[in-house]
């Protein structure tokens, strides 16, 4: 049995160290290099290496490297301009090196070299493409960087099997302290960022409360209340306080329960790769360093030998730790005094902590990366606090030789969209477009971007001045980008009014579409209205002038001035322009109505009512079957009724399409086609019984199929995910084989992959 530990002060019981341990530099060095059990650190090493092995073919993109890097004309967005992708076969080989580095980390084999093999390719890929940055990708790189300097191979490692001198040897406290601090910082700064009004007022995550993971709350809260109180309020509370809860002994179990539930729910709601599972793995770091041994001891897997402090006895002391005299006497190899190693790593640990506290708030230095948000997304822990809606991106250039205007697809020479959110990447993209256009003979051009976007349910507004020639702009990481248009934060309070207007129009009519717009004086918005839509514009603030084309007088236009409260019906099938003429920003909204869809919706309602009245007994029997079904829990019952309603809608649409195909004139417009169908249903009474009979028969077939799928949907989705991971692994290693073969035998990598892997 372990002996009772020495009496400890209340401060030491609370924080794990005594206040006197940090009162002087020598004592702080002793504390940071205090010996700790290696088992919990080893478990994190194993979990992290395994998770990275899953992440590399999936989110890092190894399985798609041939497509990602196969186009030499592709525009790149590196952090440093000297970084460029290599040939695709070499990029795949670099991915392979990174993967085997992660494998070595997991196994603890040639540990330092494995960390290098993982870390260098990882940061190379990270810095190579800013458009893929996110917080968890940055966090993985930080974990890899810290593990490089830590003694995480002292337990459960192949290195330990080979070298007995390091097997089950102590590790210094700073190994645990840095990892715990980093995880705490991820939570806490994310919580601080969530104190901004957009998050507190519930605008950041939209209608996330409708997701099925919140179904238990739907028995006593509305969807809007769940979004505000559970999603936003709960998210703020968890991020601010769960780090503290994990740190202190008395709240650690509760903190583990809360954080684990939080990350499991996130894994269901968001496509964020392995991040939730990585954070679940970090939870193990906050428990006692020897907890894996304690757990194994309960199952009889280890023989317990305790020291005088009640901890598992470790006879192999480490030169990286500082021991008390009673511990190290008669052991010449065990240090009793501070060495240069101990002081250097204490200093480096403190510098790392200071840098990580400063970097998320360093945007006043790197002004060139600021736009509507501060800095590039991915290293500030501002997770999920900004939701974006891109309304419109227009790129055009003017050939100065001919004075002709040409338009460019916003996806030209890139598969990314995030370039349109940041000034630095807009600048890089403009230079790339110039270079590509010069290859087609356009050497003297003017290039213009017009980007419309909404952040956190505000008005759609321009993000860049459309009058600025991008071939002449300058950019510096340390200077404010003056050709970007700031976010109109003074219009944020309009969001409540916008929600009221949306509810007014869309409450029971899903075929209305509203677009809210804000613009500045002197700027023009050009818009096109589809011939299938009835559209109008209404002014909320300021003054606008609408220029419309007159269909009856081709080439002639009419200007109409609108002020607050004015509304104008717009001609369909043509362009119009909106000029802001007021000094203050103009605020207006478009109302798009699909009249044909409304007619269809009414027809679906009538058809359903007729089906119910015609086959009342059938429906009663169906409801009886539902009530008698062996279902456990309200969630399953809700799934069944959801399947019932979905099947009803789907069948109505299917029968409409069948009738429309058989009884409409293809030369007529869609609205007339709908009228023909309605007349057909009303006049062909002899066929109505046949239609209803077929409707019910097909309804039962589809309904039963949906019941089966709803019962097994969770397992089926996870099966599909596992299958997807397997396919990506297979594809990744097939490409690695072809890449090595291409390098060794001078083969065309792309041709080999397309021929042998994809059979093109």
pLDDT per residue over 204-252, tens digit each? 988 888 888 888 888 888 888 999 999 999 999 999 999 999 999 999 9
**Rounded distance between C-alpha atoms, residue 649 and residue 184, angstroms:** 49
Name the phi and psi angles at 415, rounded to 5.
Answer: -100, 5
Q: Which residues are registered as beta bridge partners of 406?
A: 397
* Contact criterion met (CB below 8 Å) for 491 and 585: yes
* pLDDT computed for residue 650 by the predictor: 57
- Concatenated DSSP letters of 354-374: HHHHHGGG-TTT-GGG-SSSS
Query: CA 278, CA 280: separation in Å to the nearest integer?
Result: 5
Using an 8 Å Cβ cutoff, are 306 and 292 in contact? no
pLDDT digits (tens, 9 = 90+) for 593-651: 876 666 655 655 665 555 555 544 444 444 444 444 433 334 444 545 455 555 555 55
3-class secondary-structure state, position 98: helix
- Provide the β-strand partners of residue 392: 452
Percent of the chain at pLDDT > 70 equals: 78
Tokens of 317: 């002391």
Count of other CB atoms within 10 angstroms of residue 130: 22
Cβ atoms < 10 Å from Cβ of 548: 19
194 given a catalytic annotation: yes
Q: How is residue 525 written in tokens?
A: 């918005």
For residue 566, give every residue at least 6 positions away whose Cβ sits within 8 Å of its Cβ, in sequence order, or none: 538, 539
> Residue 372's closest CA among 492, 270, 208, 473?
492
First to last CA, the chain: 68
State residue 625's pLDDT score. 46
Res 497: pLDDT: 94
Which of 194, 293, 311, 706 is flagged as catalytic? 194
Region label for 61, one of left (φ > 0), alpha (ψ between -120 and 50) or beta (otherwise): left
Count CA within 13 A, CB hemisphere, residue 501: 17
Structure confidence at residue 482 (pLDDT): 94
Residue 3 confidence (pLDDT): 47
Q: Is the dihedral of CA 155, 161, 162, 163 positive or negative?
A: positive
Q: What pLDDT score does 633 carry?
A: 37
**Structural domains in the chain, sorted by start:** 10-358 (no CATH), 387-491 (no CATH), 500-593 (2.60.120.10), 597-734 (no CATH)
- For 100-156, the pLDDT digits (tens) are 999 999 999 999 999 999 999 999 999 999 999 889 999 999 999 999 999 999 999
Dihedral pair phi/psi, residue 396, rounded to 5°: -145, 155
CA-wise closest residue to 172 among 150, 192, 197, 198: 150
- For residue 255, which of 264, 247, 266 has the smallest C-alpha distance? 247
How far is residue 30's CA from residue 39's CA, in Å, rounded to a whole number? Answer: 21
Q: Tokens standing for 404? A: 């002709």
């Amino acid at each position: 049995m372990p002996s009772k530990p020495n009496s400890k002060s209340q401060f030491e019981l609370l924080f794990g160290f005594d206040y006197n341990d940090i009162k002087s530099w020598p004592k702080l060095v002793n504390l940071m290099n205090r010996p700790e059990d290696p088992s919990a650190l080893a478990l994190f090493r194993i979990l992290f290496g395994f998770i990275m092995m899953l992440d590399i073919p999936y989110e890092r993109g190894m399985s798609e490297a041939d497509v990602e890097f196969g186009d030499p004309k592709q525009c790149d967005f590196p952090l440093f301009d000297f970084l460029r992708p290599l040939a695709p076969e070499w990029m795949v080989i670099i991915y392979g090196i990174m993967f085997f580095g992660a494998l070595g980390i997991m196994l603890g084999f040639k540990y330092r070299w494995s960390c290098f093999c993982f870390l260098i390719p990882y940061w190379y890929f990270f810095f190579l493409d800013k458009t893929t940055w996110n917080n968890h990708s940055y966090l993985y790189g930080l974990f890899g960087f810290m593990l490089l300097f830590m003694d995480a191979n002292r337990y459960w490692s192949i290195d330990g099997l080979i070298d007995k001198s390091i097997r089950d040897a102590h590790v210094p406290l700073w190994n645990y302290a840095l990892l715990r601090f980093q995880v705490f910082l991820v939570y806490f700064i994310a919580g601080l960022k969530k104190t901004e009004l957009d998050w507190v007022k519930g605008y950041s995550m939209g209608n996330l409360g409708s997701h099925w993971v919140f179904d238990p709350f739907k028995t006593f809260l509305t969807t809007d209340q769940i979004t505000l109180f559970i999603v936003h309020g709960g998210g703020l509370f968890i991020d601010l306080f769960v780090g503290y809860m994990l740190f202190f002994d008395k709240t650690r179990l509760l903190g583990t329960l809360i954080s684990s539930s939080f990350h499991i729910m996130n894994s269901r709601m968001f496509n964020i790769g392995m991040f939730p599972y990585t954070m679940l793995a970090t939870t193990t770091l906050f428990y006692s360093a020897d907890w894996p041994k304690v757990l194994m001891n309960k199952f009889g897997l280890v023989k317990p030998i305790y020291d005088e402090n009640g901890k598992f006895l470790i006879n192999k002391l480490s030169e990286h730790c500082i021991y008390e005299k009673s511990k190290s006497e008669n052991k010449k190899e065990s240090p009793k005094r501070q060495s240069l190693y101990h002081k250097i790593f204490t200093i480096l640990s403190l510098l790392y902590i200071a840098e990580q506290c400063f970097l998320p708030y360093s945007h006043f230095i790197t002004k060139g990366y600021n736009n509507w948000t501060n800095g590039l997304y991915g290293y500030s822990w501002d997770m999920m606090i900004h939701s974006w809606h891109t309304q419109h991106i227009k790129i055009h250039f003017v050939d100065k030789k001919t004075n002709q205007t040409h338009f460019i697809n916003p996806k030209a020479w890139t598969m990314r969209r995030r370039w349109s959110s940041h000034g630095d990447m807009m600048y890089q993209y403009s230079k790339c477009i110039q270079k590509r256009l010069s290859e087609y003979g356009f050497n003297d051009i003017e290039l213009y971007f017009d980007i419309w976007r909404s952040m956190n349910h505000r008005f759609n507004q321009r993000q860049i001045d459309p009058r600025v020639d991008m071939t002449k702009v300058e950019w510096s990481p340390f200077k404010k980008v003056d050709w970007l248009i700031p976010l109109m934060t003074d219009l944020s309070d309009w969001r409540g009014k916008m929600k009221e207007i949306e509810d007014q129009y869309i409450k029971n009519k899903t075929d209305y579409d509203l677009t809210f717009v804000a613009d500045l004086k002197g700027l023009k918005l050009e818009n096109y209205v589809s011939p299938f839509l009835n559209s109008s514009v209404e002014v909320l603030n300021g003054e606008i002038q609408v220029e419309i084309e007159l269909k009856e007088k081709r080439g002639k236009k009419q200007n109409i001035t609108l002020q607050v409260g004015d509304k104008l019906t717009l001609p369909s099938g043509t362009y119009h322009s909106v000029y802001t003429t007021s000094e203050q920003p103009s605020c207006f909204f478009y109302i798009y109505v699909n009249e044909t869809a409304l007619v269809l919706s009414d027809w679906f309602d009538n058809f359903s009512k007729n089906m119910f009245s015609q086959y009342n007994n059938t429906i009663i029997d169906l409801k009886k079957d539902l009530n008698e079904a062996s279902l456990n829990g309200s969630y399953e019952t809700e799934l069944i009724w959801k399947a019932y309603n979905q099947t009803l809608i789907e069948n109505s649409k299917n029968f409409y399409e069948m009738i429309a195909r058989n009884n409409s004139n293809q030369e007529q417009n869609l609205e007339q086609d709908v009228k023909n169908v309605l007349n057909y249903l009303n006049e062909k009474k002899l066929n109505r019984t046949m239609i209803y009979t077929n409707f019910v028969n097909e309804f039962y077939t589809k309904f039963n199929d949906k019941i089966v799928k709803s019962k097994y949907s969770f397992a089926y989705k996870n099966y599909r995910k596992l299958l997807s991971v397997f396919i990506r692994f297979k594809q990744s290693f097939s490409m690695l084989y072809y890449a090595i073969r291409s390098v060794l035998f001078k083969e065309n990598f792309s041709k080999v992959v397309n021929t042998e892997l994809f059979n093109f």
